[in-house]
Amino acid sequence: GENVEQHPSTLSVQEGDSAVIKCTYSDSASNYFPWYKQELGKRPQLIIDIRSNVGEKKDQRIAVTLNKTAKHFSLHITETQPEDSAVYFCAASNGNNNDMRFGAGTRLTVKP
């Protein structure tokens, strides 16, 4: 099955700086790559996703890039704010969500 690796496991940035989280996947059949944010004590929630027919997607301060050839994708957060502090999970799926596999998570801390 799919194997997703995520780096770094922890990331600390100063408010206003950018943060980048990277993931790799193993199954070339994967075609859907979401990112979830989990705040302390809360459920994971989707923040952005990308499909394999697109190389980049942006939504305000967050963006995701996908390199299908290299089987890696990244989350970019610009102008970080304290409320961005959370655990971020990348995931990969074959599209019908019967096998969505997640990375181990990155704990992002934004210092004011």
Binding site for another protein (CB under 8 A): 1, 6, 9, 32, 34, 42-46, 49, 51, 89, 91, 95-105
CB of 14 to another protein, least distance (A): 25
Q: Which amino acid belongs to residue 76?
A: H
- Judged by beta carbon, residue 15 or residue 29, the one nearer another protein is 29
- Judged by beta carbon, residue 38 or residue 78, the one nearer another protein is 38
CB of 15 to another protein, least distance (A): 26
Q: What is d(CA 91, CA 67) in angstroms, rounded to the nearest whole number?
A: 14
Task: Name the nearest CA neighbour of 18 among 72, 66, 64, 77.
Answer: 77
- Cis peptide leading into residue 34 (ω within 30°): no
- Judged by beta carbon, residue 44 or residue 86, the one nearer another protein is 44
* Tokens read off for 77: 């957060």
